């Protein structure tokens, strides 16, 4: 999903630590979950990209949604499995997205919260198109990316556990164009603040 394998390795190294840090539900994500569930009519089978520590999947399941947990990081997949959940190692850029529990049946929706920031800019339209191809007509999409220009490489951690994350920033016109070309009908792109000076573009869309 990203051309930078160090990002994946970084998450593998700190999966448990990251999951603990991200356990609290941000208000803007809770709002998006509520809208997503409402748009699905309170039921359905959803493919989650970038499940991480599993926070969002648990909330979606509380509302009656069936979630297929996936992540490109083996560290997160192992963590979820150790916690008793089914989870699949999955790269949405290159691997089969079909639901192993429902062969031949498309998903009712896709949840991709704050994970597509790690997809290389040239690859995001491909990923969005593949997600659309795995979703039924009228199915719903939530995706969120950081708002801004260019990309950022952040490094932090310790000598024993170095971290390197590559993140892409997006502006609404380019994001909307990529979504439309990939087969999604955008109903809304909301600007949400995660923390001071940390703005997100949160997509609500349906499968064309």
CATH, domain 5-207, list 3.40.50.150, 1.10.10.60, 3.40.50.920, 1.10.3720.10:
3.40.50.150
| Model pLDDT, residue 5 | 60
| Model pLDDT, residue 7 | 52
Q: What is the DSSP string of 24-55?
A: SPPHHHHHHHHHHHHHHTT--EEEES--TTSH
- Residue 143 to residues 138, 178, 179: CA-CA distances in angstroms? 16, 12, 10
| Model pLDDT, residue 165 | 55
**Regions of the chain where pLDDT drops below 70:** 1-23, 153-165
7: left (phi > 0), else alpha (psi -120 to 50), else beta?
A: alpha
Look up the pTM and report it.
0.88
Each domain of the chain, given as residue ranges in start order, spans 5-207
**Residue 52 burial (C-beta neighbours within 10 Å; 0-12, 13-18, 19+):** buried
| Model pLDDT, residue 28 | 94
Q: 188 by DSSP, 3-state: which?
A: strand
């Amino acid at each position: 999903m990203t051309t930078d394998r160090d990002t994946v390795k970084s998450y593998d190294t700190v999966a448990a630590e990251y999951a603990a840090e991200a356990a609290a539900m941000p208000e803007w994500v809770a709002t998006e979950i509520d809208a997503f569930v409402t748009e699905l009519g309170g039921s359905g089978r959803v493919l989650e990209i970038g499940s991480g520590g599993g926070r969002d999947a648990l909330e979606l399941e509380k509302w009656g949604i069936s979630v297929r947990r996936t992540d490109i990081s083996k560290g997160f997949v192992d963590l979820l499995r150790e916690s008793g959940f089914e989870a699949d190692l999955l790269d949405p850029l290159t691997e089969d997205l079909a639901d192993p529990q429902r062969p031949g049946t498309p998903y009712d929706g896709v949840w991709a919260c704050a994970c597509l920031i790690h997809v290389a800019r040239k690859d995001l339209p491909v990923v969005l198109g593949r997600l659309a191809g795995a979703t039924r007509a009228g199915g719903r999409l939530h995706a969120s990316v950081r708002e801004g220009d260019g990309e950022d490489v952040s490094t932090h951690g310790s000598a024993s556990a170095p971290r390197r994350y590559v993140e892409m920033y997006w502006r609404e016109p380019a994001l909307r164009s990529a979504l439309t070309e990939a087969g999604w009908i955008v109903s809304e792109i909301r600007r949400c603040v995660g923390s001071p000076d940390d703005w997100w573009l949160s997509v609500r869309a349906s499968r064309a």
